Amino acid sequence: MRIVVCMKQTFDTEAKIALTADGLIDSTGVTLVVDPYSEFAVEKGIQFKEKFGGEVVIVCIGDTQAETAIRQCMAMGADRAVIVTDPAMDGSDQSATARVLAKAVISQEPDIILGGFKSVDSGSAQVMLRLAEILNLPHVNVVTNIEIGEGKAIATRELDDGVELVEVSLPAIFTAQQGLAEPRYPSVKGIMQAKKKELKRLTLADLDIDPTSVGPANAKVKIHGLTLPAPRKGGRIIGGEIPEATADLVKALRDEAKVI
Amino acid sequence: MAGVWVFAEAKDGKFRRVILEMLGEARKFADHLGEELWAVLVGSNVAELSSLLGEHGADKVLVMDNPNLAAYTTDVYAGVTLGLINTYQPTAVLFANSNMGRDLAPILAQKLDTGLITDLTGITYGPEILFKRPIYAGKALVELSFAANARPMLLTIRPKVFTPAEPQTGRQAEVITASADLNALTLRQVIKDVIRKASTRVDLTEADIVISGGRGMKNPENFKILEEVADILGAAVGASRAAVDEGWREPQYQVGQTGKVVSPQLYIAVGISGAIQHLAGMNSSKCIVAINKDPEAEIFKVADYGIVGDLFQVIPILKQELQQALASA
């Protein structure tokens, strides 16, 4: 079984976000990690490989820094990786990203394709589904479990008020929600082996994609500017003994904040 | 033809509040463009909901009522909705940022080769319409616009942000009944089972009040005291990543940058230190209360009200005080 996992590198969720003088996201000093939702998918992929045999291939669009995240996935147990690095990709929207990803993914002839249902940075939650549509493959979105059967799989999809079990035939795409799999910590042996695993570097030209068909000029959605939300001011600590303080709190919520 | 559409997702003969919020904003959007506001009703036994949509501002209601549309599956709903869009050519289509909207909108965006802005939290109407959405779970905001050739504009709308439309009794929409040959669609997703939550508790992202517990809760059993307070307030119960990582609560209740982003009227953080990734998930709440025994906890820096003390002492008293306060209200 060949499992392809689409992986994105993002900021650590403990990172504070600041803007540069040009109004862009400032990445100075920020720790870059495997996106948590990608990581659930990577872990699930490795579990499938351990159970059914085969290999886990990481597919990533990113710059050379993203190779650190790829090695992390390899240290967890992924077998090899394909990274698409091309300056033309800077400022591409989800539509272009999905189109490039599609070419890279399908070249691996996957049985199962996994990825995060969203990322913790842009969080637009649409690339994996656009990918499914481009590849004309069935998908199940926002899943917390996948059971593999003969040529098909049943995935547990999150609903607003519960879950449903959805069956699709393979190959298919599944997008990971938190709870799908608990990512393992790489072993020392895993980290050592990761350094020697195959990492294939591709450009858009290698995928037969015209670099002028991606990027900001072709984006269907244009970025106008970034802002930071107004910082919250700390309020007041209600002092005194616990019973009095708690009573004061309830009064304040009712009479001052008017939220109960 | 044109129009701003609201995809009026209904469940058990009802709309979630976000649908009325979408109608409220879509009315402004349509008026700005000088176009009609259409509501689209797709499902089984939904036709009778048309009048409610008219009362809440829809000029036309496009109804696709079919017993085979009772349950959402991607291929059926995407096929049917694509047909409607191709027939009537709307300028924009708004979906709720629900599990249905999150699934349907990206598929349609790709089928239509157009743009999609998800999790919308604001629209600025000007010569160019700007759409605001959070990134990094709200640590930053981005303003976007659709390219001239990206039509229809597809959007998913975050609940609890926009002002719901006020009902106008007697206002009527023109109802257009549409039908589709569902047999012509390829169905690749088969629903084998649906398990609804036993809890009748309000959904985390739609709740007006959320009470969340963190590492300070010490064990899963202790969450019962938060549930008791939640019952009094009609609140949802959330958890920090620490509590979920410990296995005390299901991941679906996690509030944070991984997990759910909530913006209730009142957020009560109990035994939560206030890690940056948690703050990102609840920072936009109207009023934040923190209860923590550590006076240095980061959570106090964002809280409107704080009590420094042992939560196991505070919560039972809070429960009593709330009971009394709400009984006398």
Contact A83, A119 (CB under 8 A): no
> Which chain B residues contact residue A175 at CB under 8 A?
none
How far B171 CA lies from chain A's nearest CA (Å)?
31
What are the structure tokens assigned to B78, written together? 């995407």
Does ipTM surpass 0.90 in this model? yes
Q: Per residue in A64-77, pLDDT tens?
A: 999 999 999 999 99
> Which chain A residues contact residue B99 at CB under 8 A?
141-142, 157-160
Question: For residue B114, which of A218, A215, A103, A123 has the smallest C-alpha distance?
Answer: A218
Kindly state whether B304 is in contact with chain A, defined as any CB-CB distance less than 8 angstroms: yes
Maximum average pLDDT range among B177-186, B200-209, B245-254: B245-254
Give me the residue from A13, A130, A222 closest to B109, CB to CB. A130
Write down the H helix ranges in B246-310: 276-282
How far A168 CA lies from chain B's nearest CA (Å)?
5
CB contact under 8 A, B106 and A236: no
| Closest alpha carbon within chain B to A118 | B258
CB contact under 8 A, B307 and A221: no
- For an interface test with A, which of B151, B287, B315 has the most A Cβ atoms less than 10 Å from its Cβ? B287
Q: Per residue in B101-138, pLDDT tens?
A: 999 999 999 999 999 999 999 999 999 999 999 999 99
**pLDDT at position B328:** 79
| Residue limits of CATH 3.40.50.620 in chain A | 2-218
Give me the residue from B140, B276, B289 closest to A14, CB to CB. B276
> Which chain B residues contact residue A122 at CB under 8 A?
135
pLDDT band at B1 (very low <50, low <70, confident <90, very high): low
Contact B42, B77 (CB under 8 A): yes
pLDDT band at A160 (very low <50, low <70, confident <90, very high): confident
Kindly state whether B115 is in contact with chain A, defined as any CB-CB distance less than 8 angstroms: yes
Residue B213 main-chain phi, psi, to 5 deg: -115, 150
CB contact under 8 A, A254 and B111: no
Per the prediction, chain A carries an average pLDDT of 97
**pLDDT at position A161:** 85
User: Is the predicted pLDDT of residue B323 greater than 70, yes or no?
Assistant: yes
> Which chain A residues contact residue B285 at CB under 8 A?
none
> Which chain B residues contact residue A27 at CB under 8 A?
none
8-state DSSP, B304: S
Kindly state whether B14 is in contact with chain A, defined as any CB-CB distance less than 8 angstroms: no
8-state DSSP, B34: T
**pLDDT at position B60:** 98
Q: Per residue in A75-103, pLDDT tens?
A: 999 999 999 999 999 999 999 999 999 99
CB contact under 8 A, A246 and B317: yes
| Closest alpha carbon within chain A to B264 | A259
Q: What is the pTM of this model?
A: 0.95
CB contact under 8 A, A235 and B304: yes
**What CA–CA distance (Å, rounded) separates A30 from A15?**
6
User: Is the predicted pLDDT of residue B64 greater than 90, yes or no?
Assistant: yes
User: Is the predicted pLDDT of residue A38 greater than 70, yes or no?
Assistant: yes
8-state DSSP, B69: G
**What CA–CA distance (Å, rounded) separates B27 from B22?**
8
Kindly state whether B192 is in contact with chain A, defined as any CB-CB distance less than 8 angstroms: yes
Contact B178, B63 (CB under 8 A): yes
Give me the residue from A126, A166, A223 closest to B118, CB to CB. A126
Give me the residue from B16, B99, B145 closest to A159, CB to CB. B99
What is the three-class DSSP state of B63? strand
On whether the A2-218 domain is CATH 3.40.50.620, my answer is yes
Rounded mean pLDDT, B205-229:
97
How far A37 CA lies from chain B's nearest CA (Å)?
8
Give me the residue from B252, B266, B277 closest to A179, CB to CB. B252
Rounded mean pLDDT, B139-158:
97
CB contact under 8 A, B321 and A133: no
- For an interface test with B, which of A130, A136, A156, A159 has the most B Cβ atoms less than 10 Å from its Cβ? A159
User: Is the predicted pLDDT of residue B329 greater than 70, yes or no?
Assistant: no
Contact A4, A172 (CB under 8 A): no
pLDDT band at B200 (very low <50, low <70, confident <90, very high): confident
Give me the residue from B119, B140, B188 closest to A228, CB to CB. B140
User: Is the predicted pLDDT of residue B146 greater than 80, yes or no?
Assistant: yes
**pLDDT at position B251:** 93
The 3 state secondary structure assigned to chain A is CEEEEEECEEECCCCCCCECCCCCECCCCCCEEECHHHHHHHHHHHHHHHHHCCEEEEEEECCCCHHHHHHHHHHHCCCEEEEECCHHHCCCCHHHHHHHHHHHHHCCCCCEEEEECCCCCCCCCCHHHHHHHHHCCCEEEEEEEEEECCCEEEEEEEECCEEEEEEEECCEEEEECCCCCCCCCCCHHHHHHHCCCEEEEECCHHHCCCHHHCCHHHCCEEEEEEECCCCCCCCEECCCCHHHHHHHHHHHHHHHCCCC
C-alpha dist (Å) from residue B112 to A177, A230, B76, B109: 26, 37, 16, 5
Q: Per residue in B235-273, pLDDT tens?
A: 999 999 999 999 999 999 999 999 999 999 999 999 999
Kindly state whether B307 is in contact with chain A, defined as any CB-CB distance less than 8 angstroms: yes
**pLDDT at position A234:** 80
Question: For residue A109, which of A4, A38, A13 has the smallest C-alpha distance?
Answer: A4
Question: For residue B237, which of B245, B246, B247, B250 has the smallest C-alpha distance?
Answer: B250
Distance of CA A6 to the CA centre of its chain: 8
CB contact under 8 A, A250 and B265: no
Strands across the sheet with A221-227, in order? Answer: A221-227, B140-146, B130-135, B122-124
> Which chain B residues contact residue A257 at CB under 8 A?
266, 286-287, 304-305
Chain B residues 42-81 within an 8 A CB cutoff of chain A: 73-75
> Which residue bears the tokens 């923590």?
B292
**pLDDT at position B28:** 98
Per the prediction, chain B carries an average pLDDT of 95
